[in-house]
Amino acid sequence: MAEQRVIVVGGGLAGLAASVRIAESGVPVDLFSMVPVKRSHSVCAQGGINACNEVARQQGYSEYEHFDETVYGGDFLADQHPVLEMANWAPKIIDLLDRMGVPFNRTAEGFRDLRLFGGSLFKRTHFSGATTGQQLLYALDEQTRRYESEGKVRKYEFWEFLWPVTEGEGDEKRCVGIVAQDMRTMQIRAFRGAAVVMATGGNGLIFGKSTNSVICTGGAAARCYQEGAWYGNPEMIQVHPTAIPGADKLRLMSESARGEGGRVWVPRKKGDTRRPADIPESERYYFLEERYPAYGNIVPRDIATREIFDICVNEGMGVDGQNQVYLDLTHRDPDYLTRKLGGIMEIYEKFVGEDPRFTPMKIFPAVHYSMGGLWTTYTAGDYEPSEPRPGHKSGSSVPVDAQPGHGMTIGAPNNMMSNIKGLYAFGEVNFAYHGANRLGANALLSCIFDGLCNGVSVVNYIRDADTPGVDAVDQGVYDRFVKREQDKHDRLVASASNDSGDESRNPYLIAKELGDEMTAASTVVKTGARLEQALRKVAELRERYQKVELGDNAGWTNQSLSFARATGDMLILAEAMLKAGLLREESRGAHYRKDFPERNDERFYKTSIARYNPDTRSSEIEFAPVRGPLVKPRARTYGKTDSKKTDAKPAAQTAAAS
């Protein structure tokens, strides 16, 4: 049999961790990325990465509590076995990153320093200044470069993944490679791969402006979806409470700002025009601290976002009468802030022109993260409680220790494999870990965990005697897929010559209208009627997209083409998000339906699974029971004092972040 290679699409944390692990096992990797991997979106992550640690442990924390917190934070929609396994691996992952040379902040004695983060009362977040994602990405980039030098990883940077190549139908469908395009020469060709790992990240661009990087269109996931991969919980999109509004991007001010003591407030008096420093304590409304005495400013994101939205949009108490509140760090020592949060302090200063060490920042929520993603399966581990456990109390004994293999069976070939054989989904593009809301600093963890732990599964899958080699697959299969992509490409390039001057066919404007509509209809507050309206809008945009016209007919480095192609894919994913959001008639985590403000476990303690029907060219949604829960769902209140729900008042249907 010829040498079996693995294809990894995406060079963020998930893709690089997978490449390193797979190459280390002796299997050569072809790594594809639209950008040099060192510039992947993971570089933006600021705040940190969670893991149980010795200090927290001696205060009563445990891996099990990290697991329980994550499931509770996600409003019980996560797949619990993988979460348990991830929490158990977390301390080992930090150790490994430490060995790779990540400059984690240190205590005076030289241990790794820790900070608070949302959804936990323990310091369990490891960090490297306020550019943790950058530092982790660089460490994995360096290890990947090492394998590249040894010839075990072959990089295809500035290559765009266009489609997975599959053969067989239904349950037998198997992924045997990909079609990709060189973004410079525009050459389109197929690559054989015994397995394909999708690690292509999130899809913030569907909402126009977000905290994401410019390539986070979700296009790659949408292409797998159209080829038959299922998509889990598409309606679960996280809106981060604290970002700086901007013309091109909504720049994140990390949750670590609150973890390091940042306080969120507005003047008690509506329309107070005094400078913030002139407003005395007693005339400031620290609404998170008052409403949630236990967690205060570090309530989970969905809650903080809705409260800020409520204060601004419903109560009209936003600073200067606008949609913004103060995020205040001025009571902390400026040097301390530079050391712990320098990266984000600089971003604020650079883009707003004010120094947050001395003036409170003005922030508002922004679309940030996709909990939903390609649906995947796994083989459960050996922890089998006789019935789902109640919530865990800090300091009480844990029902299971932190040895590997309790949550998932390590190395089982199907771990994080999609419903298409041999097609895996790692990192943000995966749906399993974060349920209806992701806790801060858990994403970097899930990305690296996927790569390191489930990379082994990929290797085992291709080494499995039952997996037929891909060298036997008929070349005609690949040629067919290449031809389809080439035809699509040629049609798009040819459209540039129409030059009708009809603005409604401009891909950039179609994408902008999509972003505006999605932000208005499907972010902080949703209603059935508004979602239906958005579905009609998306249908209209899809109609217009049929006649899309490119502004560039170049046969070399045609960026408009790549963007226009992704726009078509974003429209398809947007429809799935809206449909699932419409059918989920309850409120859970980030998904808040004003017309159904309560969680409804009876009907919706379920994963929504979207399937693409190529005949009708539309999404079909099914609700499937959440697999084998290990802890029982319980009310998710975070100790809110005020029982008067925010939804008691009419929420305006304005954009969350425009």
Ligand X SMILES: Cc1cc2nc3c(=O)[nH]c(=O)nc-3n(C[C@H](O)[C@H](O)[C@H](O)COP(=O)(O)OP(=O)(O)OC[C@H]3O[C@@H](n4cnc5c(N)ncnc54)[C@H](O)[C@@H]3O)c2cc1C
Q: Which does 254 bind (CB under 5 to 8 A by kind): another protein, ligand X, none?
A: ligand X
Q: Give the SS3 label for residue 218.
A: coil
How many CA atoms, within 13 angstroms, populate the side-chain half-sphere of residue 271? Answer: 0
Sign of CA dihedral 550, 553, 555, 557: negative
DSSP strands (E only) in 249-402: 251-252, 263-267, 284-285, 325-328, 361-370, 373-374
How many Cβ atoms sit within 10 Å of the Cβ of residue 240?
A: 26
Cα(130)–Cα(140) distance, integer angstroms: 18
The structure tokens listed for 281 are: 């304590």
Structure-block tokens of residue 262: 């940042």
301 is catalytic: yes
Among the listed ranges 35-43, 55-63, 486-494, 497-505, the one in contact with ligand X (CB under 6 A) is: 35-43
- Cβ burial, residue 395 (10 Å; 0-12/13-18/19+): exposed
Q: Which residue from 45, 299, 425, 609 is in contact with ligand X, where contact means CB under 6 A?
A: 45
Residue 584 makes contact with another protein by CB under 8 A:
no
Are the C-beta atoms of 620 and 234 separated by less than 8 Å?
no
The residue within the footprint of another protein, chosen from 2, 60, 107, 277 (CB under 8 A), is 107
Q: Which does 49 bind (CB under 5 to 8 A by kind): ligand X, another protein, none?
A: ligand X
Nearer to another protein, 139 or 303 (CB): 139
Q: How far apart are alpha carbons 576 and 286 in whole angstroms?
A: 38
**Contact status: 433 vs ligand X (CB under 6 A):** no
Binders of another protein among residues 111 to 130 (CB under 8 A) are: 111-112, 128-129
Whole-number minimum distance, CB 443 to another protein, in Å? 16
**Binding pattern for the stretch 163-202 against ligand X, x by CB under 6 A and - elsewhere:** ------------------------------------xxxx
**Any contact of residue 499 with another protein (CB under 8 A)?**
yes
Cα–Cα dist 499/534, whole Å: 29
Scanning 40-48, 56-64, 218-226, 537-545 for contacts with another protein by CB under 8 A, the matching segment is 40-48
396 touches another protein by CB under 8 A: no
* Residue 14 binding: pick among another protein, ligand X, none (C-beta 5-8 Å cut-off by kind): ligand X
DSSP 428-456: GGB-SSSTTSPPTT-HHHHHHHHHHHHHH
- Asked if 296 and 317 touch (Cβ cutoff 8 Å), the reply is no
In the complex, what is the shortest distance from the CB of residue 376 to ligand X, in angstroms, rounded to a whole number?
13
The number of beta carbons lying within 10 Å of the beta carbon of residue 497 is: 9
Chain positions 131 to 160 lying near ligand X, rule: CB under 6 A, are 132-133, 160
Q: Write the DSSP assignment of 333-371 as a string of letters.
A: -HHHHHHHHHHHHHHHHHHH-S-TTTS-EEEEEEEEEES
Residues 342-401, interacting with ligand X (CB under 6 A)? 368-369
Interacting partner of 369 out of ligand X, another protein, none (Cβ under 5 to 8 A depending on kind): ligand X
Task: Answer yes or no whether residue 212 interacts with ligand X by CB under 6 A.
Answer: yes
Nearer to another protein, 136 or 190 (CB): 136
User: Is position 239 an interface residue for ligand X (rule: CB under 6 A)?
Assistant: no
Which of the residues 301, 530, 565, 588 is marked catalytic? Answer: 301
Give the DSSP H/E element, type plus range, for residue 332. none
> Residues 595-624 vs another protein: string with x where CB under 8 A?
------------------------------
Binding to another protein in span 6-35, by CB under 8 A:
20-21, 24, 35
Catalytic residues: 301
